[in-house]
Structures are given as C-alpha cells and as structure tokens.
Amino acid sequence: MKNITKYLSSLSLVLLLLPFLQTCTNQDLKNPEYVGYEKNGKHIPLNYNKAKSKKLKSESTLNGYKIAFSVFKNEPKKINLDDAILADYFMLSSVLISIIICILSFLNRLNFIVFYSSLTNILFVILSIYVFKKSGVLREFHQIKVGYYLYTINLILIALFSKRKLSI
C-alpha cells in the first residue's frame, strides 16, 4: 500500500488502451446515409448490412491513444470550440501528463506535482468530453465507453493517494 501511486499511475497508461469513445451512434449505424467516410470534404456512404455494422462499430470506437495521437494526422488549422480537434489536444495533454505522473511516482519525488498533475489531468478529460459534445462528435452519452470512466476514476484515486502522501 505504500507505493500505490506507482501502481495506479502505471494502470492509467494501460487504461488508455480501453475503448474511450464511439464516434458514431448506434442509430447512425442503422442509417446508411450516415455510415461512411469523408473523402475530399464529401461524405461517401457505405452500404449497410448487419454483418458490416459490427465491423463499423468496432472501427468507429477509439481508445485514448487513438484520440490523442489523431492530432498528428489532421492538418494544422485554426482551432475553435466547435472542433473536435481541440478535444484531441486535451487528450494528448492528458496522455503526456499521465506519462509524467508515472515517471514521478516511480521516482518517489515531487508528490505535490503528481497531485496537481492528476487534478489537471481530470480537468483535461472532462474538457475533452465537453468539447466532443459541443462539436457534435458525441451526440449520445452512450457513445462514451468504459475507458473514460475507469481512467477518470483512476486519476481521482491518484489524486487522493498523492494528497495523502503530501499530508504525511
């Protein structure tokens, strides 16, 4: 129990592999005009059938790393609150802070930085959900998958245990 922040910070890097977000709703998967991909700024629909729906559902589900590193796939442009790219930047910041938290917790130093970094990380995760909702990527809360919840709970636990280390 003495080094619980080490285990929790390592676990946060593993939790980023879990499904975080489904980019289309189940209703969209049933509607053929929504299911498709973007090419040269045009939406190209795919033919819908039940066999493809599971494949499309799994392809449209992103984990934390895919969300964070999709920043590098997009062209640089002016960012505003209606863009999902801003949420990608928040997730990238969250991943980088998680790596820093993991390193600092293994060094057993600077517990106050671990505490404040985990609070900042929680804020970034909440802001990314807000921006996804505002930009229209997230239309139903059923699109948020288990990874967001477990990652947020893990960050709260890191904050609690690192705060306990500060008090001692």
**pLDDT 10s digits, 80-108:** 555 677 778 888 888 899 999 888 888 87
154 contacts: CB under 8 Å, gap ≥ 6:
8, 11, 12, 15
pLDDT for position 153: 93
Distance CA 128, CA 88 (A): 7
Instruction: State the CB neighbour count (10 A cutoff) for residue 10.
Output: 15
Look at residue 150 and tell me whether its pLDDT is greater than 70. yes
- Name the 3-class secondary structure at 1: coil
* pLDDT bucket at 111, cuts 50 / 70 / 90: confident
pLDDT of res. 13: 87
Q: Are residues 145 and 160 in the same domain?
A: yes
Reply yes or no on whether the pLDDT at 160 is more than 50: yes
On whether both 83 and 159 belong to a single domain, the answer is yes
- Are 89 and 158 part of one and the same domain? yes
Place of tokens 């949420």: 87
What single DSSP character describes residue 59?
A: H
Q: Are residues 89 and 127 in the same domain?
A: yes
Judge contact between 114 and 120, C-beta under 8 A: no
Within this chain, do residues 49 and 101 fall inside the same structural domain, yes or no? no
Question: To the nearest whole number, what is the mean pLDDT of the chain?
Answer: 75
- pLDDT tens readout for residues 35-93: 555 555 565 555 555 555 566 666 667 777 777 777 777 655 555 555 677 778 888 88
Tell me the residue type at 84.
A
Q: Are residues 55 and 108 in the same domain?
A: no
> What pLDDT does 1 receive?
47
Question: 81 with 14, same domain?
Answer: yes
Do 53 and 67 belong to one domain? no
Same domain, 67 and 55: no
**Domain total in the chain:** 2
Domain range for 39: 24-59
By three-state DSSP, how is residue 163 classified? Answer: helix
What is the average pLDDT across 114-119? Answer: 88
Range 3-20 average pLDDT: 85
